[in-house]
Amino acid sequence: MGPSGSGKSTFLHLIGALDKPTEGKVLIENVDISTLDNGQLADLRRRIGFVFQFFNLIPRLTARENVELSLAINGLGRNERQKKAERLLEIVGLKDGMNHKPTELSGGEQQRVAIARALANNPKFLLMDEPAGKF
């Protein structure tokens, strides 16, 4: 927590391996992230659940498809992806909105899609930027 501009989002981007520090080191599981190549960074990021401040949902995809995309990147088959995405959306209270596109959902509903997507691959930890900002 802190005032606007205090570095909260920057901090989350650093510990989420989305940015590299200009000074110092960020260690995740005792590994300096600045020493990782792009492939290693991608592998690390797959083990982290992100809920971004502005959700970063893909507008042309439905809520279910946005969650499924995260599962597809990790190689899950189509039927298993659909079932898991539907189950996660039910858990976050969006069963009735799973076939809606982000523009058809409220801010809170979009955030729930982002949470379901972040949880899809059973992350080791979850990073949330402004988690209560849109409720």
For 107-118, what is each residue's pLDDT tens digit?
Answer: 999 999 999 999
Beta bridge partners of 49: 126
Q: What is the pLDDT of residue 135?
A: 44
3-state secondary structure of 38: helix
Task: Report DSSP letters for 24-41, one per residue.
Answer: S--EETTEEGGG--HHHH
Of 117, 113, 127, give the one whose Cα is nearest residue 63: 113
Amino acid at 120: A
Kindly list the domain boundaries of the chain, sorted by start residue: 58-121
8 Å CB contact between 55 and 110: yes
What is the predicted pLDDT for the residue at 47? 87
Give me the pLDDT at residue 134, please: 47
Segment 77-84 shows an average pLDDT of 95
Q: How many Å apart are CA 81 and CA 116, to the nearest integer?
A: 12
Q: CB under 8 Å, gap of 24 or more: what pairs does 104-108 form?
A: 105/63, 107/134, 107/135, 108/134, 108/135
Q: How far apart are CA 66 and CA 56, in angstroms?
A: 10
Q: Residue 86 pLDDT > 60, yes or no?
A: yes
